[in-house]
């Protein structure tokens, strides 16, 4: 008898990161990093399991879990192998309930819920084949990879036929690229030193530690106070541009190297990026970033509302004479927004999010779009579980789609990895290690103890807080 999907579980898991200022920025001042988590089960002599989640920051996670349950219920009774045959169609099926679609469509709570469900299916698929997710995807033929991708509403910018031709052109050299990324890892940048709620002393300490760990790309949050941002930016620049703080024996990077061209790299080859988390109107964004030009950022991330394509384009044009680019994407809620950002020449850097987009199939759409338009992809990974997810996506991009990681960097934040069975990790060169364990799938399985402790509202941590009057 073929396996059938029999049931699923959802969990509202919240971590008290607001107590330490982790994740703080100009728009989101009290983040409790959270996960709307789902596990899907099958029957059979060797039952399958798939884990997925979407990232939230506290209140509202319960609402996402309800939406996840509504979507996951559509899978009960289905044969997972039928879904695995064409993951693009599986994506369409999860999103096809017309009444549920009405409360999107393909945006908001219902869409990020679909991301958790679709990611759980991809996790199940990879585990069933005994491969990490990235390896499952890069081993697909170009034809199968196209079948796994969502093209609805983007064929005016990228057709399946064009995507197939791109993927076939990348077939040559795939084995060599896979060997390189296995050996060297994937380039990373660090955000953990630059949260807005940190003191200058903590920023300086964490920046020195990051330089010593091999990082050469750094991001800081801005937008609450110009004087404070300039002061913190000078603190970071004074450290990352000073050779004395480099990893012992390192000479830094040549700021004139191709990988650093246009990035405002300092004398040690270090790069600074800034992130406003949508705090400004368009004219405010332009003036504020001009006033920050002395700290020489590579780009301003999320300078305005994430849906404002023409606003991003205007900001990009205004900042170009200052050598400052524009990046966005962590809140771009579907592939159509990315399509328009690229068509409008509105961004220098494309920043996908692994679960605001509705799972791997939609991520593939955006990776292919970005490759066609020649824009580097630097994924968002600042929250719980996102680092575990996105290293797979960047490996897919490099090996099978764009064929390059020369200018790409993948965000890393050193928070909450201990809650996962297969946590992401950074090597001595400040690069992500590519997941290699054949059992880990999409690397998002949480320890049962972490779920029991931090599930809202009755996990042991939250019960103790209430019992102690907090």
- Residues annotated as part of the active site: 221, 380
CA distance 64 to 114: 10
| Alpha carbon distance 49, 33 (integer Å) | 25
For residue 169, CA distances in Å to 166, 172, 182 come to 5, 7, 22
Report yes or no: 222 and 276 within 8 Å, Cβ to Cβ. Answer: yes
Q: Which H or E element spans position 466?
A: helix 460-467
The residues, ordered by sequence, that sit 6+ positions from 250 with a Cβ below 8 Å of its Cβ are 214
d(CA 159, CA 44): 39
- Pick from 284, 288, 280, 259: nearest CA to 378: 259
| 217 phi and psi angles, rounded to 5 deg | -125, 130
Place of tokens 């880990």: 440
Which H or E run includes 104?
none
Supply the angle between the helices 335-343 and 309-319 in degrees, to the nearest 10: 40
Q: Which of 296, 361, 370 is nearest to 329 (CA)?
A: 370
Helix and strand numbers (H, E) in the chain are 18, 11
Q: What is d(CA 230, CA 236) in angstroms, rounded to the nearest whole number?
A: 10
The structure tokens listed for 370 are 């970005």
Gap between the Cα atoms of 326 and 337, Å rounded: 15
Alpha-carbon gap, residue 286 to 326, rounded angstroms: 11
Expressed in percent and rounded to 5, the helix, strand and coil fractions of the chain are: 45, 15, 45
- CA–CA separation, 454 and 457 (whole Å): 8
Neighbours of 255 (CB within 10 A): 17
């Amino acid at each position: 008898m073929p396996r059938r999907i029999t049931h699923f579980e959802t969990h509202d898991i919240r971590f008290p990161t607001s107590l330490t200022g982790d994740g703080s920025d100009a728009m989101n001042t009290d983040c409790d990093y959270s996960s709307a988590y789902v596990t899907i089960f099958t029957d059979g002599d060797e039952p399958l399991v798939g884990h997925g989640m979407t990232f939230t920051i506290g209140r509202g996670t319960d609402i996402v879990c309800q939406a996840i349950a509504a979507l996951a219920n559509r899978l009960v009774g289905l044969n997972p192998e039928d879904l695995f045959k064409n993951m693009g169609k599986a994506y369409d099926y999860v999103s096809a309930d017309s009444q549920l679609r009405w409360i999107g469509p393909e945006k908001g709570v219902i869409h990020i819920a679909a991301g958790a469900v679709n990611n759980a299916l991809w996790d199940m698929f990879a585990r069933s084949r005994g491969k990490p997710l990235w390896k499952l995807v890069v081993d697909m033929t170009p034809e199968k990879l196209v079948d796994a991708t969502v093209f609805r509403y983007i064929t005016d910018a990228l057709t399946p036929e064009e995507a197939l031709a791109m993927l076939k052109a990348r077939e040559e050299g795939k084995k060599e690229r896979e060997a390189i990324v296995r050996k060297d890892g994937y380039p990373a940048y660090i955000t953990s030193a630059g949260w807005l709620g940190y003191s200058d002393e903590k920023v300086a300490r964490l920046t020195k530690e990051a330089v010593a760990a091999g990082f050469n790309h750094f991001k800081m949050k801005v937008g609450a106070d110009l004087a404070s941002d300039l002061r913190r930016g000078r603190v970071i620049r004074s450290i990352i541009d000073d050779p004395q703080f480099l990893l012992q024996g390192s000479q830094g990077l040549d700021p004139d190297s191709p990988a650093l061209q246009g990035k405002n790299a300092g004398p040690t080859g270090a790069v600074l990026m800034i992130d406003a988390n949508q705090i400004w109107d368009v004219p405010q964004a332009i003036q504020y970033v001009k006033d920050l030009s002395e700290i020489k950022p590579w780009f301003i991330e999320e300078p305005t509302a994430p849906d404002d394509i023409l606003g991003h384009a205007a900001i990009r044009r205004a900042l170009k004479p200052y050598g400052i680019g524009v990046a966005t994407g962590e809140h771009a809620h579907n592939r159509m927004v990315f399509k328009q950002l690229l068509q409008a020449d509105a961004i220098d850097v494309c920043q996908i999010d692994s679960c605001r987009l509705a799972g791997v199939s939609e991520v593939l759409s955006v990776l292919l779009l970005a490759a066609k338009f020649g824009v580097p992809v630097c994924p968002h990974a600042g929250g719980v579980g996102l680092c575990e997810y996105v290293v797979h996506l960047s490996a897919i991009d490099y090996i099978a789609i764009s064929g390059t990681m020369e200018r790409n960097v993948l965000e890393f934040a050193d928070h909450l990895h201990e809650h996962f069975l297969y946590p992401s990790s950074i090597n001595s060169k400040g690069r992500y290690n590519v997941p290699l364990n054949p059992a880990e799938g999409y690397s998002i399985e949480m320890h049962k103890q972490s779920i029991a402790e931090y599930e809202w509202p009755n996990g042991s941590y939250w019960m103790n807080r209430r019992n102690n009057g907090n």
